[in-house]
Amino acid sequence: MKILVTGGTGYIGSHTVVELQNAGYDVVIIDNFDNSHPSVLQNIEKISGKKAIFEKLDIRNKQALKDFVSTHKDILAVIHFAASKAVGESVENPLKYYENNVGGTVNLLEAMQENGIDNIVFSSSCTVYGEANPPVNEDAPIMLAQSPYGNTKQICEEVLLDQTKASNLKTVSLRYFNPVGAHDSALIGELPLGIPNNLVPFITQTAAGKREVLTVFGNDYNTPDGTCIRDFIHVVDLAKAHIKAVEYLINKKHTSSFSVFNLGTGKGSSVLEVINTFEKVTGVKLNYKIGQRRVGDITQIFAGCDKAEKDLDWKTERDLENCMKTAWAWEKHLENNVNSQS
């Protein structure tokens, strides 16, 4: 019952490790701490009461990866989170993204093949759909990527599909919409480095006084309140879907060796709705202003989630209020533990 989790000390990875341990799996984590902190390991253990096997390893180091995987031949499946994820940085430094996200995935697939590990769950993104008419289902066309980051997700899906055809590999690719929120314990959450690009970390940091003002990027979109609409999914709901995906593969419930699932709530929320919900559940007034549109933003997207509900027997349980409440509790935890996190 051993699962290998790459990027397991990151935001989504750490929540997934906790859910795997809660479900009785033994977890092996590899991470190079490029975008996470060693203290996450202790906090995972505090939550689940279980210790994961951990190896500090960079998946770009093919030989080290192969050597490590060969010492764990009883791995049933791999959940592959390790990647770089900053859209803006990928435009400035595309080679870093192709090397880490695509090269790292190729290395991992080689290590899996050499060691007879046949099941992989991959972290993809709704960004592959570009601007599409919501609700967006899995059969919506893949659009030309808007960034090198988005392109790495498309390429990795193609690499996985080709390798699935050529070998015993079975793949589930999970296309996440907008993951937000944190664990109820407030011991793990998203650790944005520098100025956050994403809406919810920017909201919590502004409310905490780390940022002066939140800029709403445009209120002249063709939506009811003029601001963009996204599908915000709680990270614990998202994490639980990974256990369903692993079991879909290892219990041989899949009908195709390459499957894709959207992971969202199926409900769109506007930027202003997110801000209002944050103010309502926390009682904190947010300093925000309306600014210019951000280049590259799409007007609205939310998921069609029927496939995940039907085939994975999964759906979200938490609402936007819970997302904001837990994101705020995590922000306050970070403030109180600034020395142990930095």
Q: Is the dihedral of CA 326, 135, 12, 89 positive or negative?
A: negative
Residues within the interface to ligand WQD (CB under 6 A) = 85, 87, 125, 127, 178, 197-199, 202, 214-217, 228, 230, 271, 294, 297
- Determine which one of 25, 97, 129, 149 is catalytic: 149
Binding mask 97-126 for ligand NAD (x = CB under 6 A): ---x---x------------------x-x-
**The residue to which tokens 């944050």 are assigned:** 278
Q: Which is nearer to ligand NAD, 34 or 335 (CB)?
A: 34
Q: How far is the CB of 75 from ligand WQD (least distance, A)?
A: 26
**Given the rule CB under 6 A, which of 11-19, 112-120, 281-289, 320-328 is the region that contacts ligand NAD?**
11-19
Q: Which is nearer to ligand NAD, 104 or 135 (CB)?
A: 104
Tell me whether residue 248 is one of the annotated catalytic residues. no
Partner that binds at residue 197, options ligand WQD, ligand NAD, none, CB closer than 5 to 8 Å by kind: ligand WQD
SS (H, E, C) 66-110: HHHHHCCCCEEEEEECCCCCCHHHHHHCHHHHHHHHHHHHHHHHH
The site for ligand NAD, by CB under 6 A, has a size of 27
Terminal alpha carbon distance of the chain: 34
Residue type, 234: H
**Residues 115, 69 contacting (CB under 8 angstroms):** yes
- Does 325 interact with ligand NAD (rule: CB under 6 A)? no
Count of beta carbons in the 10 Å neighbourhood of residue 99: 14
Q: Which pairing describes strands 288-291 and 119-125: parallel, antiparallel, or unpaired?
A: unpaired
187 φψ region: left (φ > 0), alpha (ψ -120 to 50), beta (else)? alpha
What are the catalytic residues? Answer: 149
Q: Which residues bind ligand NAD (CB under 6 A)?
A: 7, 9-13, 30-36, 58-60, 81-85, 100, 104, 123, 125, 176, 179
